[in-house]
Amino acid sequence: MQATLCFIGGGNMAKSLIGGLIASGYPKANILATDPTLSQRNHLTETFGIACYEDNNQAIQQADIVILAVKPQILQAVCKSIQDSIQKSTPLILSVAAGIRSKDINRWLGGNQAIVRTMPNTPALIQSGATGLYANPQVSQEQKNQAEHIMRAAGLTIWVNEESQLDVVTALSGSGPAYYFLFMEAMEQTAQEMGLDAKTAHLLTMQTAFGAAKMVMESNLNCSELRQNVTSPNGTTEQAINTFEAEGLRDIIQKAMLAAQNRAVELANELGDDV
């Protein structure tokens, strides 16, 4: 039988996962959700045909897996409010709250809990995400399989062996979409300054980014090889690449990702402190 899932929080990430699960054939009767806002509960019920509750504890009593999908800033309070129910039913805990370490979630829930911490990114909202997962020692192989099945509803899933590696995942895929948006934004703006109208610049930028990503995904060649293949000697692309290299683009990317990783560590430390 399919496990019964309970989503604590009915925001965008929860809706993305619920929609993906149902689209893949997961039974609606085995998906529950909670949210403090009546309009949000009604929306979830009308959109997905699932049961929704205002009371987290009432829903948890029926669940095999509890997905914590609330904002990181309120996760501590939510965990402490459901601690008794979690201790009684001991479901698998799946957290999609960014930056909160599993040891802190475990402590707030009263200890000895099987917890899978995940780091999804915003393309998960269109089932094209990339999610890093880490399981604490209490998680069984069957529970890992269940967690992976849930997160695959939002896109690609990758397990890491050390929880600290999720900070690297945050710097790479978690924050990564914004890096590409910035690069595309700069390309669009420059193309307009060079004479293209805004619509043409936008369409060409989007299709170029999509095509490049698709080539990487479908090719047996790595990014470096693909770049070299389209960089003809003394051609236009070579001139652009040489400019990027001369201006230190690689160093800029490295510094940016290290800054994101360091901030992820800082946030985990800040949010993990009891107040």
The CA–CA distances, whole Å, from 126 to 7, 118, 121 equal 18, 17, 10
Output the six-digit token pair for 60: 């948890």
Output the six-digit token pair for 77: 């309070």
Question: For residue 66, what are the β-bridge partners?
Answer: 6, 93
Question: For residue 34, what are the β-bridge partners?
Answer: 8, 53
Three-class SS state of 50: coil
CA distance 152 to 100: 21
Place of tokens 């693909």: 226
Q: What is the pTM of this model?
A: 0.91
Decide if 170 contacts 260 (C-beta within 8 A): yes
Output the six-digit token pair for 199: 């619509």
Q: What is the DSSP letter of 172?
A: I
Decide if 19 contacts 44 (C-beta within 8 A): no
Distance between terminal CA atoms of the chain?
41
Decide if 82 contacts 57 (C-beta within 8 A): yes
Output the six-digit token pair for 80: 């402490």
CB atoms within 10 A of CB 181: 12
Q: What is the residue-level pLDDT of the chain in tens, covering all 275 positions?
A: 589 999 999 999 999 999 999 999 999 999 999 999 999 999 999 999 999 999 999 999 999 999 999 999 999 999 999 999 999 999 999 999 988 999 999 999 999 999 999 999 999 999 999 999 999 999 999 999 999 999 999 999 999 999 999 999 999 999 999 999 999 999 999 999 999 999 999 999 999 999 999 999 999 999 999 999 999 999 999 999 999 999 999 999 999 999 999 999 999 999 987 64
CA distance 105 to 30: 24
CA distance 93 to 139: 9
Three-class SS state of 8: strand
Q: What confidence score (pLDDT) does residue 275 get? A: 47
Residue 33 phi, psi (nearest 5) = -145, 155
Decide if 90 contacts 48 (C-beta within 8 A): no
